[in-house]
Amino acid sequence: MVIPFAVYMATLAPSVTFFDSGEFLTATVSLGSAHSPGYPLFLMYAKPFTWLPFGNIAFRINMATAFSSSLACLGVYLLTSRLIGKEHLVENRTFSMFAVRMSALSAACLFSVTPRLWLQSNHDKPYPLLAFVSAVIFFLLLLWREQYDRSDERPAYVYAATFLAGMAMALHQTVVLLLPAWFVLIILADWRMVTRVKELVLATACAMFGFSVHLYLPLRATQNPLLNWGDPKSVTQFLWHFLRRGYPSEPHQRTAGLVWAQVKAFNVAHEFTWLGAALAIFALIRLWRYRRDVVIAYLIAIVTFLVIIVGYFDTPNEMIFLTEEFFTPLYLVTAVLVGVGLYHVLLFAVRSAQLPEQYGARVYGLVALMLFLLPITLCAKNYYENDQHNNYIAFDYATNSLRSLPRNAVMFTWGDSGAFPLWYLQGVERMREDVDLPHTPHLVFDWYLDSMPRLFKDSRLRTFDVQSAGPETALRIAMGDIFGKRPTYIDFSTRYSVEFSDYIPVQTGIIYRIRSRNEPTGLPDTSMWDNYNNRGILEKISFLDLDTGKAILIYANSYLEAGEFLMSIGHMRDGMLMLDKAEKISPEMKVSAQQVRLRYHGER
């Protein structure tokens, strides 16, 4: 656990990042509710880390995820040691115990540096904690099975496992996909277990008791916390929130290529290399002889995940990267198998070699090198891509947006990654509390309008069926209510997501001011560019996820757009400088920038 935690702390994001980060951070600090289904257990787990006496709030909560990932690695160590069992390499008991522990430690370290877990460990994510709880459940069921085989029934292990399974629903609902595997581990011991009414009732009661952690959502909602997604005070709103009814899926065509892309989201070779995949398969072959129930449970888990995620969710191609996170508990069990496979390879090597009865330091050293060669290689391969210690792009993007706004402004946002860092800066870091930041996709929900009474208490949105009309119509209505009363702005995503017929967006750095069509255009204010922080924009950082890359392109496009406008009004020198910066940020802009130069006869 210490080794993974040290790696994660060395590569930890120093502040807010993109995707759900700003939202989770704000919900954790306010003990509110995150996006559906709320994630109450993760928020309660991360909250104590906000009390640490060092770093900013985002860093502390990121540290909470690093710690939960380290716990997941500890789960790999314990499960690997348990599955290897008491089979000794040789008569030398000390060396045999050393081999078991080193195999388990190698598996834990290997899991810690897999691309998926490492990606989730450097900023706030609930999946590593879910993986740890899943590992504990597997461990409890293995203990129960061992006692059962000795005719010493310990149903308390099963009750504890069902309690944790119910509680894990408050981390992520994909935990239900592991239920068939856990059920198989039990019935393969004795199928008549399912006929024992008393045990079934107690196990169900424990599961419901664990699930009761969801009562946090309506109880906290009554206090109107800063972030209260879905406002689940009532039974209706709680079910709307828990069942994710706010995320309607758009119909799309299912093709063979899409299905294959969905299946490839579970990619053992990518996570562990082909050698790791081969070791996992070798472990399954070996375990078939003495732990057949584990092999069957693992295979059933894989099938269940793929059938539900591919067959039922039918994720669109552009969203498949999100479903890759769901497989983290499966990758944890796969890491255990790799550790078991390493041990059996070592078993074969030691028994085939002509070794003396007493092993010296050279033998111990060679064994350790053999076992840790794969984790070290994988760490070296993935370190650069997962090093976020200097990733300030989301923080700076949100800060620069707020700096561009005049006092008492209103700025409409569109995408989650554009909105959530702003929520964190305003709600947690207390920046620019004078401005309002309505999120356009949420304007169709009454609970969201209720959360912003300063803007929407008497809005016309209350009298329209905007949920049927959609967010674009809601945006136009909201802008009509606000325009002329307060300075009105939109972010980059809104500018290029909505067509405006009544208003004209005027570039103001990386955001846009809304003006009426009869308002004089005037000259753009380019002075704010000098006040922007551009860490990781002009000089490349190692970590670039999808939305971080989009943010960099927004900067490049904004410089390009500003340069084109300046050249169109005769400010050739300033326009050229803007085009040069666009090219420096994103070399892909070179063709567009050259076209602008040619159009205004400014080619050098």
- Cα separation, 32 vs 522, in Å, equals 44
DSSP conformational letter for 543: -
Q: Residues 137, 54: one domain?
A: yes
Which residue, chain included where needed, has tokens 């070296």? 380
The span from the CA of 165 to the CA of 173, in Å, is 10
Residue 521 has, within 13 A of its CA and on its CB side, a CA count of 9
Q: Are residues 336 and 465 in the same domain?
A: no
**Per the domain annotation, does 570 fall within a domain?**
yes
Q: Which residue has the tokens 């070290």?
A: 376
Q: Does residue 295 form part of some domain?
A: yes
Q: Which of 355, 383, 411 is the last residue of a domain?
A: 383
Same-domain status, 416 and 366: no
Give the count of domains, the chain: 2
**412: amino acid identity, one letter:** F
Q: In the chain, how many H helices and how many E strands? A: 28, 4
Give every CB contact of residue 272 below 8 A, 6+ residues apart in sequence. Answer: 110, 114, 279, 280, 334, 335, 338, 374, 378
pLDDT for 91 equals 64
Flag whether 260 is in a domain.
yes
Answer yes or no: is 589 within a domain.
yes
Indicate whether 320 and 407 sit together in one domain. Answer: no
What are the Cα distances from residue 149, in Å, to 37, 126, 189?
A: 39, 35, 8
Mark out the alpha helices in 324-469 (DSSP H runs): 328-352, 361-386, 393-403, 416-427, 446-451, 453-456, 466-469
- Do 175 and 28 fall within a single domain? yes
Do residues 221 and 324 share a domain? yes
CB environment 436-465: b (16+ within 10 A), e (fewer):
bbbbbbbbbbebbbebbeebbeebebeeee
User: Which domain-ending residue is among 363, 383, 403?
Assistant: 383
* Residue 363 confidence (pLDDT): 67
- Residue 317 CB neighbours (<10 A): 12
Residue 604 lies in a domain: no
Rounded Cα gap, residues 562 and 510, in angstroms: 10
Secondary element (H or E) of residue 515 = strand 511-516
pLDDT of 488? 93
Same domain, 329 and 467: no
> Same domain, yes or no, for 81 and 143?
yes
- Going from the C-alpha of 49 to that of each of 44, 73, 274, the distances in angstroms are 10, 20, 38
Single residue among 383, 407, 432 that ends a domain in this structure: 383
pTM: 0.91
Where would I find the H helices in 11-56?
21-30, 40-46
What tokens does 407 get? 């006092």
Q: Please check whether residues 427 and 557 belong to one and the same domain.
A: yes
The domain in which residue 110 lies consists of: 2-383
Partners of residue 167 on adjacent β-strands? none
Task: Average pLDDT across each block of 10 residues of the chain; the chain has 604 residues. List them in order.
Answer: 91 91 94 93 95 93 95 96 74 77 93 93 91 96 88 87 95 93 89 82 93 95 92 92 80 80 89 94 91 93 91 79 88 95 83 63 76 91 89 92 93 90 94 94 91 88 83 89 91 88 86 84 72 81 75 89 86 87 88 87 55
Between CA 257 and CA 131, with CA 250 as vertex, the angle to 5 degrees is 70
Residue 103 placed within a domain: yes
Bridge-based pairing of strands 488-490 and 503-508 is: unpaired
Is 388 inside a domain boundary? no
Residues 267 and 344 in one domain: yes
Cα–Cα distance list, 272 to 34, 82, 102, 119 (Å): 32, 21, 18, 14
Residues 6 or more apart whose CB falls under 8 angstroms from that of 222 comprise: 233
**Confidence at residue 130, expressed as pLDDT on a 0 to 100 scale:** 96
H/E segment holding residue 353: none
Residue 134, helix vs strand vs coil: helix
What is the reported pLDDT for 259? 84
Residues 447 and 348 in one domain: no
Cβ(131)–Cβ(75) below 8 Å: yes
CA–CA separation, 313 vs 308, rounded Å? 6
pLDDT at 459: 86
Residue 364 sits in the same domain as residue 400 = no
E runs forming strands in 27-77: none
Closest Cα to residue 421, out of 491, 479, 342, 318?
491
